[in-house]
Amino acid sequence: MNEPQQKSGTRVTVVIDASRSSVDTLKTAADIAARVQAHLMALFIEDINLFSLAELPFARELDRTSGASRPLDRHAVTRALQADAERIRQLLENESAQRQIKTSLKVVRGHYVSAAMQAAEETDVVILSHVAGVRLRTVAARMQRRRPARGAGPRPVWTVFDGSPAAQRALAMARDFSIERGAELVVVIARRSFKRLAAEAKDLLGDAPVRFRAIAGGDAGEALRAILAEGSSMFFWPRGESSLFGKLPAFLLDELVCPLIIVS
């Protein structure tokens, strides 16, 4: 494979907030950072809406599991978010010690999607955590864990390929992770350019085993459904205007049940 070179001084950012799963995402981000010898920055987003809500006199929170109602005030929100941030900091320290990488934590108050999009613009690799709503999807999550992903072994690594340099880098990273984890590599290609792009991807992958998945161009929803149906441990998304899928659809951030890695 003609190895697509990662730009020097690569920056890896993982974007996390209180509502999203952080442990798996942080580990994935640390894996990537260690692989490209990059500084890993964790961007913890404190949802500004929560603070606004907490100021209201009638603000209440319903427990995710029991449905119990309890008052929500600014102090409670602050304490909960600080606890989350502290947990993230400890996780980062552990990863830093284990993988010999530099890490930092940045806490920002704002909106997750806009912060994620902005980070994607400014950083080479952005890892977005999936919504912790899996806790609502107990059965689905359990099935996901139980199902040996069409055979024994870990769930597949997915990547979107549109032929762009970013897509080539995403493909290379996805290939490395799939080999390292012994997972199947699934490459999503727009149906209208399937032959050409599949051949190109095949050429880039060399002997590495791969399965191609053709979907209608631009329909990220179809890719999402396939991922949900077959399971996924990582989903790589190449950033760029030339992508056949256009810009990253915001709903992916809410629906995916695995880390989303945006590669520039």
Partner 1 sequence: MPRIEPLTTEVLYTPCDSSRLPFQDTSDLEEFDGVIGQPRALGAINFGTGIARDGFNIFAMGSSGTGRFTIVKRILEQQAAKRDAPSDWCYVYNFGTPHKPNALRLPAGRGVTLRDDMQQLIEDLGSAIPSAFEAEEYHSRVEKLEQELNERRDQALSQLATEAGEHNIRFLHTPAGFAFAPLDKKGEVIRPESFEQLSPEDKQNIERTVEDLQKRLQRIIRQIPIWQKETREKIKELDREIGRYAADHLIGLIKDRHKDLPEVVAYLDDVERDIVEHVRDFRGESEPQAGLLGIGSKPDALNRYNVNVIIDHDGEQAAPVVYQDLPTYSNMVGRVEYRAQMGTLVTDFMLIKSGDLHRANGGYLILDAMRVLTQPFAWDGLKRALRSREIRIEPLEKALGFMSTVSLEPEPIPLDVKVVLIGERMLYYLLSRYDPEFSDLFKVAADFDERMDRDADSNVQFARLVGRIARQESLLDLDQGAVARLIEHSSRLAEDTEKLSIHMREIVDIMQEADFHARQGAQQLISRGHVQQAIDDKIYRLDRVREHIYEAIRRGTLKIDIKDEKVGQINGLSVLDLGGFSFGQPARITATMRLGSGKVIDIQRETEMGGNIHSKGVLILSNYLASHYARGHPLSMSASLVFEQSYGLVEGDSASLAELCALLSALSGLPIKQSFAVTGSVNQIGEVQAIGGVNQKIEGFFDICRAGELTGEQAVLIPRSNVPHLMLRDDVVAAVAAGEFEIYAVDAVDQAVALLTGVEAGVRDRNDEYPPDSVNGKVERALIGLATRRREYGREREDRDKE
Kindly tell me which residue out of 3, 8, 9, 66 binds partner 1, with binding defined by CB under 8 A: 66
Would you give the DSSP letter of residue 245? Answer: T
Contact present, 21 and 15 (Cβ < 8 Å): no
Question: How far is Cα 177 from Cα 15, in angstroms, rounded to an integer?
Answer: 20
Contact present, 56 and 39 (Cβ < 8 Å): no
Does position 19 interact with partner 1 (CB under 8 A)? The reply is yes
Least distance from C-beta 176 to partner 1, angstroms? 28
| Sites for partner 1 among residues 224-253 (CB under 8 A) | 229
For helices 23-36 and 74-99, what crossing angle results, to 10°?
40
Least distance from C-beta 51 to partner 1, angstroms? 9
| Sites for partner 1 among residues 68-127 (CB under 8 A) | 69, 72, 77, 80-81, 83-84
Question: How far is Cα 29 from Cα 148, in angstroms, rounded to an integer?
Answer: 24
List C-alpha distances in Å: 193 to 123, 142, 164, 218, 249. Answer: 28, 36, 13, 12, 21
Judged by CB under 8 A, which stretch of 50-58, 94-102, 175-183, 194-202 contacts partner 1?
50-58
Closest CA to 211 of 222, 201, 196, 223: 201
Question: How far is Cα 41 from Cα 99, in angstroms, rounded to an integer?
Answer: 14
Least distance from C-beta 144 to partner 1, angstroms? 9
Kindly tell me which residue out of 133, 165, 221, 249 binds partner 1, with binding defined by CB under 8 A: 133
Does position 182 interact with partner 1 (CB under 8 A)? The reply is no
Closest CA to 51 of 20, 28, 73, 25: 73
Does position 59 interact with partner 1 (CB under 8 A)? The reply is yes
Compare residues 37 and 49 and give the one whose CB is closer to partner 1. Answer: 49
Kindly tell me which residue out of 5, 7, 37, 49 binds partner 1, with binding defined by CB under 8 A: 49
| Position 164, amino acid | S
Kindly tell me which residue out of 42, 131, 171, 186 binds partner 1, with binding defined by CB under 8 A: 131
Judged by CB under 8 A, which stretch of 21-29, 139-147, 156-164, 174-182 contacts partner 1?
139-147
Does position 58 interact with partner 1 (CB under 8 A)? The reply is yes
| Dihedral angle sign, alpha carbons of residues 7, 120, 258, 248 | negative
Binding site for partner 1 (CB under 8 A): 18-19, 47-50, 52-53, 55-67, 69, 72, 77, 80-81, 83-84, 131-133, 136-140, 143, 146-148, 150-151, 229
